[in-house]
Structure 1
Amino acid sequence: MSANIDEFTDTLNAEQYVDLQKLRSYSRYGIPPAIRGEVWLYLLGVLSPDRTNEITSVRSKYASYANMDKLPPTHAHRLRLECTRYYNRRLVPYARRRRQPGLAPNSMTTSAMIRLSLTTSMASTSPGTSSIAVKLNNEDEAMDIMAFTTSVENVLSAYLNRNLATEYHHGLVPLVAPLVWTLKTEAGMYFSFERLMTIREDYTSKHPLPARLTFFMTIFRQFLPDLFSYFEEEAVDTRELAAAWLESLFSREMPIGMLMRVWDVYFSIQDPMEFHPFVCLAILTTCKDALEELDQSEVRSMLLSLPVMDVDRLVVEAHNLRLSYQHSQTRGGGQWAVDY
Structure 2
Amino acid sequence: MSYNEAPEEHAATTVQGQCLHNTNTSTSNNPNTNYGEQGPGASPKPTDKERRQKRHTHTHNGAPTCCIHSPSTSPDASAQVLNSLINGIKSQKESSGDPSHHSSLFTDSSGTCVLNNAEPAKEKDEQGKSRKTTIIRRPFPRSNGTDTTLILSAAEKEASLRNKITEAVRSFTNGNKNAASTLAEIARTSGIPASLRQSVWPMLLETHPLVRAEAAGNAAPLRQSGSTPEIPTKRIRAELSRYHRRRKGIPNTRHPSPPRSRSPGIESPGSVPTTESMVSPPDQEALDQAALDSAVEDAVVAYLESRGSAKYSPGMVYVCLTLSDWVFVPPSVSNDQENQSAGLAKAFEQMMAVILWSSPQVPTRTGNMQLLDGVLTRRISHFLTIFRKLLPELAAYFDEEEANGFGEEWVHNWIQWWCSRELSKDDKARLWDFYLGYRPTPRRPLLPTPAGSDDEDVHIDSSDGDGEDEAPPRLVLPGNVNSGAVEAYTPADWHPFVCLALLRACKDALEELELSEIRTLLTRLPRINMDAILREAGKMRKELREVSDREDEEALRRGS
Normalised-by-shorter TM-score class: 0.7 to 0.9
Of the two, which has the highest radius of gyration?
Answer: 2
CA distance in 1, matches of 2:184, 2:374: 25
- 1:45 and 2:45 matched: no
Separation in 2 of the partners of 1:319 and 1:80? 38
Q: Give me the whole-angstrom Cα distance separating, in 1, the residues matched to 2:534 and 2:308.
A: 36
Distance, in Å, in 2 between the alignment partners of 1:30 and 1:302 is 26
State how far apart, in whole Å, the 1-side matches of 2:373 and 2:245 are: 36
Letter in 2 for 1:162: S
2:241 matches 1:84: yes
Please tell me whether residue 193 in structure 1 is matched to residue 348 in structure 2.
yes
Deviations 1:170-224 (A, max 9, x none): 2221111111221142222112211122223332838612211221112111111
Q: Is 2:138 aligned against 1:138?
A: no
Residue in structure 2 matching 1:296, options 515, 535, 541: 515
1:315 to 524, 528, 534: 534
2:396 to 211, 229, 234: 229
Residues 1:273 and 2:273 aligned together: no
Matched, 1:172 2:172: no
One-letter code of the match for 2:431? V
Does structure 2 conserve the Cα–Cα contact (< 8 Å) formed by 1:46 and 1:191? Answer: no
Runs of 4+ in 1 over 3 A off after TM superposition: 90-102, 136-143, 327-332
Match of 2:356, SS? helix
TM-score by structure 2 length?
0.46
CA separation in 2, counterparts of 1:80 and 1:311? 31
Unaligned runs of 5+ in 2: 1-156, 210-229, 268-272, 274-284, 329-339, 360-371, 440-489, 556-560
Q: What SS is found at the alignment partner of 2:416?
A: helix
Candidates 193, 206, 223, aligned match of 1:32: 193
User: By how many angstroms is 1:266 displaced?
Assistant: 1.2
Amino acid at match of 2:398: F
Identity within the alignment, %: 32
Please say which of residues 144-153 and 318-327 is displaced more in the overlay.
318-327
Corresponding residue for residue 170 of structure 2: 13
Structure 1 gaps of 5+ residues are 49-72, 103-135
More strand by share: 2
On the 8 A contact 2:187/2:434 being kept in 1, the answer is yes
1:214 matched to which residue of 2? 381
Give the Cα separation in 2 of the matches to 1:253 and 1:314: 15
Q: CA deviation at 1:323?
A: 2.1
Q: Which has the higher contact order (CA 8 A, sep 6+)?
A: 1
Cα–Cα, structure 1 residues 227 and 47, in superposed 2: closer, same or farther, change >3 Å?
Answer: closer
Query: 1 or 2, which has the higher helix percentage?
Result: 1
Quote how far apart the aligned CAs of 1:41 are. Answer: 1.3
Residue 82 of structure 1 deviates from its aligned partner by: 1.4
Q: Write the mapping of 1:49-128 to structure 2, written as runs, cut at 5 A.
A: 75-90=232-247, 97-102=254-259
How far apart are residue 314 of structure 1 and its match? 0.5
1:20, 1:43 within 8 Å by CA — same for their partners in 2?
yes
Change (3 A) 1:100 1:317: closer
Whole-angstrom CA distance in 1 between matches of 2:353 and 2:504: 30
Cα-to-partner distance string for 1:149-186 (whole Å, 9 max, x where unaligned) = 01101111222222222233322211111112211422
SS across alignment from 2:506: helix
3-state secondary structure, aligned to 2:206? coil
Q: Is the 8 A contact 1:41 1:47 kept in 2?
A: no
Alignment equivalent of 2:307, drawn from 119, 141, 163: 163
In 1: Cα distance, 2:432 partner to 2:426 partner:
10
- Matched residues in 1 for 2:161 and 2:553: separation? 42
State the partner residue of 2:298: 154
Aligned 8 A contact 1:282 1:321 in 2:
yes
Question: RMSD between aligned alpha carbons?
Answer: 2.9
Distance 1:302 1:312 in 2: 21
CA distance in 2 between counterparts of 1:234 and 1:257 reads: 31
Aligned length: 279
